[in-house]
Amino acid sequence: MKLREYEAKNVLWEAGIPVPAGFLIRSADELTPHLGALGAAFVLKAQVDVGGRGKAGGILMAGKSDGTKVAKELFGKQIKGLPVKEVLAEQKLDIQHEYYLSITVDRSSKQPLILFTEAGGVEIEITAREHPELIKKVVANPLMKDLPPFLIRELIGKAPKEIGPVINKLYKIFIEKDALLAEINPLVTTPNGVFAADAKIIVDDNALGRQGIAMNRDLSEREREAEKHGFSYVELDGAIGVIGNGAGLTMATLDLIEFYGGKAANFLDVGGGAESERVMNAVRLVASVPSVKVIVVNLLGGITKCDEVAKGIIAAGISQKVIVRLAGTNEAEGRKLLSEKGYEMLDTMDLVVKKAVQVTA
Amino acid sequence: MIYGDKKTGVLVQGATGKQGEFHIGLMNAYAQQVGGRGVVAGVTPGKGGQQVHGVPVFNTVKDAMKEHDIGAAVIFVPAGAAADAIMEEANAGIRTIVCITEHIPVQDTMKAIAYARMEGASVIGPNCPGLLSPGEVKMGIMPAGLFSHGNVGVISRSGTLTYEVVDELTRAGIGQSTVVGIGGDPVIGQTFVDVLERFENDPQTKAVVLIGEVGGNLEEEGAKSTDLPIVSYIAGVSAPPDKRMGHAGAIVEGGEGDARSKIARLKKHGVPVASRVSEIPDMVRERFRCHC
């Protein structure tokens, strides 16, 4: 789950990494008591859970005289469809130079990977593409609690020495907060020292419990409903509902829909060994999206009992057409139950998908 | 076969849990069918002295190792205890460790894999279905009924999608040497490169089906590393791009972790990529004319 900017900056501040003076406000009026501390010019940043908020108008410059007016404007906006409920009012920094620093999980080396460049800022991805040699990369041994000083020296090179402690502190955050990503871009030098001007922290969804995070904000309401049942669920914008078991098979089913020229409305992964009640809940959830015209059920696996799946589909009693492909134990019983109720059951995933695309065409 | 055969004694960690018990039964049914040793010992702390399907349970891996000849382990313990189980097995001297458990925090996985590497153990998974060498050994949860003995190796990041591919191969009369599910997590022990290296040294394996997914570039690294003929399938062409990983993801993977660019790069390396699972058997047969 991605932390909001103000949450990430709080984590940085608690770890001893300097961040610009800032205040979280939930209405334009809440800005007034902070106007003195913010100085002549400051920044108002919408705290919405979407990327690219700057270009979408979510970051505005303001001053002492027009601050409240600008804040009102920002609170009245929708950023990529999301209402602005929280705004971070932040001191404007006197930036001398912008650096980029991040720590992420490297799939190749299976270790934390630290990236640092003196060419930080908004153009970082262009730099990475055109001048990869400017980006320094080191991997850390996950069995060690601290970064050895030589690694930090290798990273910062001729950059100011005061960046060293920031790297070590960010590494501690990465480990202790179960982060998949801890990124400071830009990390800036000012006449008053270094500051994390922006920060991004993504917490491992598998560690939310031990991090004391009760609810995953990255999920929509229906996705959260699905999570309660132990399903993984994603919403798209077509007309075919998809139920599968296992992420790979479900993804392959979606790809096949696209291959045959159709579009999926959503997909739900029921997991292994689905019993009738689970299947019923899954079918009802997928069918609850109004745009779903037909549902493809594609279940495969040794421990999935086809008669249980059939009972679940029948018990769901939904109005949309359901096309089923089942392979596993008790296949014949499952087929019999479904055909008695007039459901269509086909032998391969190619056949069910082709049929569903025809129905929605 | 790679990683183990009929003679490999398997240990199950988390033997007395619902999953562990269920799959000890299935693994030993397969062992009986092929005349292998199968699961010879289980481990659950505090449950030493019990039996599961006639298999003795021990409190620690070292206790089990004292009484049994064990070559591999399969882990079914909950996510919070799985990294510790990997390290316990590596430390006790087990060299092949299959971790079925899903939802392990990635920080724990990184530590456990670094530790296992130090001890000289290979970890398959986590979050994987394990492996199966038809006619030899099953370590994990793959449905054995779909498999047939032959010369094609299969490596996959997925679970059920692997079964789908194996089912297609078997129906087309193409048998498998070993099928390895390497796991779907961002950090896994054995990657495509490691398993392909084993296949290269395995005289039985003549060609390999490589089943990948969107994210990372381990499929390409694998394809580059081997001379074995490969057919590939990449799931996730229709998946919406995941923008969550910020700039770091784009810098590390060159912004190319998505399925389409992955497919393009595999093709550039001369690896044929199936656009549907059902195309795989014909591609294996046509391209390589292997006697399978």
- Is the Cβ pair A107, B218 closer than 8 Å? yes
Q: Which residue has the higher pLDDT, A234 or B249?
A: A234
Residue B253: pLDDT band with limits 50, 70, 90: low
Final residue of a structural domain among B124, B158, B192: B124
State the pLDDT at residue A301. Answer: 65
Please tell me whether residues A129 and A66 are part of one structural domain.
no
Chain-chain contact of A246 with B161 (C-beta, under 8 angstroms): yes
Choose from B27, B110, B158 for mutation: most chain A CBs within 10 A: B110
Instruction: Assign residue B97 the CATH number of its domain.
Output: 3.40.50.720
Model confidence at B251, pLDDT cuts 50, 70, 90, reads low
Question: What is the spatial distance between Cα B174 and Cα B162, in angstroms, rounded to a whole number?
Answer: 14
Q: What is the pLDDT of residue A289?
A: 92
User: Within a domain: residue B137?
Assistant: no
Task: Give the pLDDT confidence score for residue A54 in this predicted structure.
Answer: 84
- The verdict on B120 and B151 lying in the same domain is no
The whole-number pLDDT of residue A130 equals: 87
- Least confident range from A116-120, A297-301, B53-57, B124-128: namely A297-301
Amino acid A225: pLDDT: 83
The residue length of chain B stands at: 292
- Partner residue facing B236 (CB), from A143, A206, A255: A255
| Residue B241 reports pLDDT greater than 70 | no
Number of domains in chain B: 2
Chain B hits for A2, Cβ within 8 Å: 244
- Per the structure, the complete domain to which residue A103 belongs is given by 97-207
* Residue B133 forms part of a structural domain: no
Nearest to A301 among B163, B244, B249 (CB): B163
Query: How distant is the Cα of A302 from the closest Cα of chain B, in angstroms?
Result: 5
**E strands in A1-81:** 22-25, 41-46, 59-63, 78-79
Strand partners, B155: B180, B210
Q: ipTM, 2 decimals?
A: 0.89
Q: Within this chain, do residues B162 and B245 fall inside the same structural domain, yes or no? A: yes
Q: Is B227's pLDDT higher than 80?
A: yes
Q: Strand ranges (DSSP E) for chain A?
A: 22-25, 41-46, 59-63, 78-79, 82-83, 87-91, 97-106, 111-117, 136-139, 179-190, 193-196, 199-203, 232-235, 240-244, 264-269, 294-305, 321-329, 344-345
Nearest one of B203, B226, B256 to B1, comparing CA atoms: B203
pLDDT per residue over A135-185, tens digit each?
999 999 999 989 999 999 999 999 999 999 999 999 999 999 999 999 999
Q: Are A71 and A35 in contact (CB under 8 A)?
A: no
CB of A25 less than 8 A from some CB of B: no
Mean pLDDT across B22-44: 97
**Is residue B122 less than 8 Å (CB to CB) from chain A?**
no
Q: Which domain holds residue B70?
A: 10-124
Q: How far is A188 from chain B (nearest CA, A)?
A: 17
**Is pLDDT of B291 > 80?**
no
Is residue B194 within 8 angstroms of chain A, CB to CB?
Answer: no
A202 and B238: CB-CB below 8 Å? no
- Residue B131 domain-assigned? no
In a shared domain, residues B119 and B148: no
Q: Are residues B64 and B24 in the same domain?
A: yes
B146 and B116 share one domain:
no
How confident is the prediction for chain B on average, in pLDDT?
A: 92
List the single residue in B103, B144, B145 with the smallest CB-CB distance to A206: B103
Q: Who has greater pLDDT, A128 or B223?
A: B223
| Same structural domain, B207 and B89 | no
Residue of A1, A4, A107, A198 best to disrupt the B interface, most CBs of B under 10 A: A107
Do residue A295 and residue A257 come from a single domain?
yes
Closest-CA residue of chain B to A121: B247
The confidence band for B72, taking pLDDT boundaries of 50, 70 and 90, is very high
Q: Is the pLDDT of residue B130 over 80?
A: yes
Q: Consecutive sets of 10 residues in chain A, 361 residues long: mean pLDDT of each?
A: 95 97 95 92 92 87 93 93 94 95 94 94 81 92 94 95 97 96 96 95 94 83 83 88 89 93 92 83 94 93 79 94 87 89 90 94 85
Q: Suggest the residue from A2, A109, A255 to mutate for an interface test with chain B (most B CBs closer than 10 A).
A: A255
The pLDDT value given to residue A66:
93
Domain holding B199: CATH number? Answer: 3.40.50.261
Number of domains chain A contains:
3
- Which residues, in sequence order, are CB contacts of A177 under 8 Å at separation 6+? A11, A201, A203, A211
- DSSP letter (8 states) at residue A358: H
The whole-number pLDDT of residue B247 equals 65
